[in-house]
Structure 1
Amino acid sequence: MSIWEYRPQTIALIPDALIFLSSGMNLALGLGYSYYQVSNHFRFAWFIGVIAGVLLSAPLIQISIKRYFVLLSSFVVVVSGIVYTVCPHDEVALLAARYLNGIGTGLITVPFIMHCSEISIISRRGGHLGIEQFSIAIGIFIQATYTGFWSGGITISANRVHGICCLTFGLIALGLAYIVIESPVFFVRLVNDAQALDCLTRLQLPTVLTDEKKALLEEHKNYVMMNEYLGKNESFTRGLGPLARMILYRAAVAFTFSYFYNEQLMLGSVWGITSGNQWPWTIYAALRILGVFTAVTMLDLIGRKIPSLIGLLVMGGLGIGIAVLFAHRDNWQNGYQMSMACALLMIFQFFAGLYAPTSTLYLGEAFPMLLKPYFIALCISVECAVHIIVICTYHMNLHVFAYDTFTYAYLFACFLLFLFTIPDTKLTTLNEAQERFRAWNHWRSW
Structure 2
Amino acid sequence: MESLESGRQFSKKHDGTPWRLFFSTTCALVGPLSFGYVIGYSSPAIPQLEEQQLLTGTESGWFGSLMTVGALLGGPLGGWNLEKCGRRATMKMAAVPFFLGWIAMLSATGPEALFLGRFLCGLGSGLVTVCVPVYVAEISTSALRGTLGAGVQLSITIGILAAYASGLSLTWSNMAVVGLVLSIVQLVASFLVPETPRWLLMNSTKVEAVRALQQLRHQHADCEDECRDIEEGLDTKETFSWSEFKKPELSKPLMISVIIMIFQQFSGINAVMFYTVSIFKNAGLENSEMATVLIGAVQVVGTFVACMLMDKMGRRKLLITAGSVMSISCFLFSWYYYKVNTGSSASSMGMLAVTSLVLYIIGFSLGWGPIPMLIMSEIFPSRVRGAASAIAIFTNWSCAFIVTKEFLMIQDWLGPAITFSLFACSCMFSVLYVWKKVPETKGKSLEDIELFFLGKSMMHV
1:409 aligns with 2:422: no
Structure 2 equivalent of residue 351 of structure 1 = 363
Distance 1:257 1:18 in 2: 27
In the alignment, which of 101, 112, 132 is matched to residue 132 of structure 2?
Answer: 112
Structure 1 equivalent of residue 94 of structure 2 = 73
* Residues 323, 363 of structure 2: 8 Å contact kept: yes
Distance 1:348 1:39 in 2: 27
CA pair 128-223 structure 1, distance change in 2 beyond 3 A = same
Identity of aligned residues (%): 16
Structure 1 unaligned spans of 5+: 151-155
Distance 1:406 1:251 in 2: 14
* Residues 240, 384 of structure 2: 8 Å contact kept: no
1:42 aligns with 2:63: yes
1:336 aligns with 2:317: no
Which string of whole-angstrom CA distances, capped at 9 and with x for unpartnered residues, describes residues 33-74 of structure 1? Answer: 843555332221111111111111212211213332222211
1:225 aligns with 2:235: yes
SS of corresponding position for 2:233: helix
**1:312 Cα deviation (Å)?**
0.7
Normalised by the length of structure 1, the TM-score is 0.88
CA pair 104-191 structure 1, distance change in 2 beyond 3 A = closer
Once structures 1 and 2 are overlaid, which stretch shifts more, 14-23 or 124-133? 14-23
Structure 2 equivalent of residue 215 of structure 1 = 225
Letter in 2 for 1:162: M
Which string of whole-angstrom CA distances, capped at 9 and with x for unpartnered residues, describes residues 383-406 of structure 1? Answer: 111221122222255442343122
1:244-255 aligned at under 5 Å gives the runs 244-255=255-266
Letter in 2 for 1:359: P
SS of corresponding position for 1:179: coil
Once structures 1 and 2 are overlaid, which stretch shifts more, 274-283 or 125-134? 274-283
1:25-424 aligned at under 5 Å gives the runs 25-29=37-41, 34-36=46-48, 37=57, 39-87=60-108, 90-147=110-167, 149=168, 157=171, 159-206=172-219, 210=221, 212-225=222-235, 233-234=243-244, 236-237=246-247, 238-255=249-266, 258-327=269-338, 328-329=340-341, 334-355=346-367, 356-395=369-408, 397-398=412-413, 399-424=415-440
**1:354 Cα deviation (Å)?**
0.5
Structure 2 unaligned spans of 5+: 1-12, 49-56
Distance 1:265 1:59 in 2: 37
Letter in 2 for 1:353: S
Which string of whole-angstrom CA distances, capped at 9 and with x for unpartnered residues, describes residues 126-152 of structure 1? Answer: 1121121011111121233344x46xx
Structure 2 equivalent of residue 153 of structure 1 = none
CA pair 85-230 structure 1, distance change in 2 beyond 3 A = closer
SS of corresponding position for 1:61: helix
* Residues 325, 331 of structure 1: 8 Å contact kept: no
**Count of aligned positions:** 432
**1:362 Cα deviation (Å)?**
0.7
Distance 1:46 1:2 in 2: 43
Distance 1:267 1:145 in 2: 19
Distance 1:107 1:258 in 2: 22
Distance 1:191 1:70 in 2: 19
Which string of whole-angstrom CA distances, capped at 9 and with x for unpartnered residues, describes residues 236-289 of structure 1? Answer: 412212222221212233245733212222111122222235433222121111
Distance 2:442 2:372 in 1: 14
Normalised by the length of structure 2, the TM-score is 0.86
Distance 2:236 2:313 in 1: 29
